[in-house]
Amino acid sequence: MTRAIAFRFAIPLVMVAVSVVGAQQKPAGLGFFISSAGSGNGANLGGLDGADKHCQQLAAGVGAGNRTWRAYLSAGGAKPVHAKDRIGAGPWTNAKGVTVATSVADLHSDANKLSKENSLTEKGEVVNGRGDTPNRHDILTGSNLDGTLAGDNLTCGNWTSSGEGSAQVGHHDRQGGGQNPNSWNSAHASKGCSQENLRGTGGDGLIYCFAVK
């Protein structure tokens, strides 16, 4: 009888130990992705708030909605908004568990791990790049290489226009044309703000999403 009672108490203790080990081995979780789809209305994302909401909804769709998500986008106006200041402190991990950057400084340095293979969607899928059909490597940012606003005229009306204007974009696959063809966040300006014009220069209205916390 004594052995039976001891055994009954031992089982929960073993389960607790296993749970603790499992928790220690659990990866940090999704913290960075490229949106699997854009707004469908070119660079009109509903402003920064609409872009953030899009990131949040996509994250929630894969079970990461418990984190606060922000779009990597800069915006102009009386009080300019810089993408680098919107995304938290890092580190950020992709859907496959790869840490693409450890901090804001690391993200904007040559040491980051951003590439076609690592800059995945929230579903863990690779986004078409240069040489694929269709090419979708232009990612909307409105930003300079250092993550600051590229200019008031390079945000498609602060992400509310699908007509006139232009947007600074980066190449998620780190190759192509433009002033900085290997840049993930500031390769060149788009042809326009409509879905058709974004696709015409190798994009699809996609954005980078980062977990703030």
Indicate whether 1 pLDDT > 90: no
Q: What percent of the chain has pLDDT over 90?
A: 86
pLDDT confidence of residue 35:
98
pLDDT confidence of residue 10:
44
Q: Which tens digits make up the pLDDT trace of 4-21?
A: 444 354 444 434 343 333
Fold for the domain defined by 36-211:
Mannose-Binding Protein A; Chain A (3.10.100)
pLDDT confidence of residue 100:
98
| Cross-strand pairs, 133 | none
Six token digits for residue 61 = 């769709």
Q: Which tens digits make up the pLDDT trace of 165-176?
A: 999 999 999 999
pLDDT confidence of residue 119:
98
Q: Which tens digits make up the pLDDT trace of 171-193?
A: 999 999 999 999 999 999 999 99
